[in-house]
Amino acid sequence: MSFFRRKIYPTDYLFGGYSVVKLIGEGRFGMCYLVNLDNKKYVLKEIKPKVIKKSGTKIIFEEKILSSINHPLIPKIVDTIKNDKMYAYILEYKKGKTIEEMLFGDNYVFTPSEIYKVGIKIIDIIKYLHERNIVHRDIRVPNVIINEEEVYLIDFGLARLINGKKYIPSVDFLYFGHLLLYLYYSSFEKTSKKSEPWYDELDLSLNEVNFLKKLLGLNEKYKSIYDVEKDFLKLGLERLQDKY
C-alpha cells in the first residue's frame, strides 16, 4: 500500500544545504540520494524511521565505523544530519557503476584478467578492514562500484567489530566467493538444459575451484585474509603463465 511507502524527496529538495539531484536507490536500511553542495556531489543516506525504531542504537555502527577508517576505496563520511524528522549522513560520492548494474543492466562480460584485478582490490579492502577488527558482512554485487581501474566498497550498514562469535572474518570470505562466482558466470554460455554445480559448469582450473570452495566453506575454510590473498596471487600468476 502506497500509504506506508517512505516519502521520496524531489529534485532540489534541501537537506541542511544539500540539494537533491536524484534518488540513487533504496536498501534495507535507508534511502540513498545523490546530492549537491557548492557544485560538489555527495551521497546522502537517510536511515528509514522503521529501522531506527527497530534497531535503536545499532544504526550508529555504520557511522562509527566509517568515521574510524580512512581508505581511498571506501567512501568517507563527511557530515551527519540529525533532527526530529530524520537521521542521515553524507558520504563521498564515488563515480562509476555497481557490479550489479554492469552485469544485469549492461550484460557486461568480465575477462579473467578483469576478475583478478577486481578481486585483488577487494582483498586489499577486506585486509584493511580486518586489520582494524572490522567485518563488512555484505560484500555483494550491489555494494561494489567500478570506475575504470578503481574498485570501491560501499554500504557499511551491516559492518560490525569482529567478536569471534557472530561477527567473524570468514563471513566476508563467503560473500567474496559468491561475488567472484557472479563475475565468472558473466562469460558462461549454457549449452545444456541440465543444471550442473558451478564447479562443473564453469571453465575453472583445479586451483580456482579449490580456492572458491575454501571461500564458500565447502572445503576447509580460510581463517585469514592473508591466506586468501596468498592463494589469489597464485591464481593470478597461474593465469598469466597460461596466457603465455
User: Which one of 47, 75, 92 terminates a domain?
Assistant: 92
Verify that 222 and 110 share a domain, yes or no.
yes
In angstroms, the CA 74 to CA 97 distance is 15
Quick one: 19 exposed, middle or buried, by C-beta within 10 A (0-12, 13-18, 19+)? middle
Side chain identity at residue 74, one-letter code? I
In degrees rounded to 5, what are phi and psi of residue 50? -65, -30
**Looking at residue 71, which CATH number applies to its domain?**
3.30.200.20
Question: Are the C-beta atoms of residues 46 and 31 closer than 8 Å to each other?
Answer: yes
- Residue 150's contacts (CB-CB under 8 Å, 6 or more residues apart) are 73, 94, 96, 121
User: Which one of 39, 58, 92 terminates a domain?
Assistant: 92
Q: Is 193 annotated as a binding residue?
A: no
Tens of pLDDT along the chain (244 residues) come to 333 445 788 999 888 889 999 999 887 778 899 999 999 999 999 887 776 666 665 567 888 999 999 999 999 999 998 887 788 899 999 999 999 999 999 999 999 999 999 999 999 999 999 999 999 999 999 999 999 999 999 999 899 999 988 999 999 999 999 999 999 999 998 877 788 899 999 999 999 999 999 999 999 999 999 999 999 999 988 776 665 4
Question: Are the C-beta atoms of residues 91 and 42 closer than 8 Å to each other?
Answer: yes
**Looking at residue 121, which CATH number applies to its domain?**
1.10.510.10
Grid cell locating 77? 563520511
User: Which one of 64, 92, 120 terminates a domain?
Assistant: 92
Q: What is the pLDDT of residue 25?
A: 85
Quick one: 29 exposed, middle or buried, by C-beta within 10 A (0-12, 13-18, 19+)? buried
Verify that 234 and 127 share a domain, yes or no.
yes
Q: What range does the domain containing 34 cover?
A: 2-92
pLDDT digits (tens, 9 = 90+) for 98-126: 999 999 999 999 999 999 999 999 999 99
- Is the Cα torsion angle 181, 182, 187, 192 positive or negative in sign? positive
In angstroms, the CA 187 to CA 210 distance is 20
Catalytic residue numbers, as ranges: 138
Round to the nearest angstrom and report the end-to-end CA distance of the chain. 59
Verify that 211 and 103 share a domain, yes or no.
yes
CB atoms within 10 A of CB 145: 21
Verify that 7 and 67 share a domain, yes or no.
yes
Verify that 77 and 134 share a domain, yes or no.
no
Verify that 222 and 168 share a domain, yes or no.
yes
Verify that 101 and 88 share a domain, yes or no.
no
In angstroms, the CA 115 to CA 180 distance is 7
Grid cell locating 71? 581508505
Side chain identity at residue 40, one-letter code? K
- Residue 194's contacts (CB-CB under 8 Å, 6 or more residues apart) are none
Question: Looking at beta carbons, which pairs linking 8-14 to residues 24 or more positions away fall under 8 Å?
Answer: 9/33
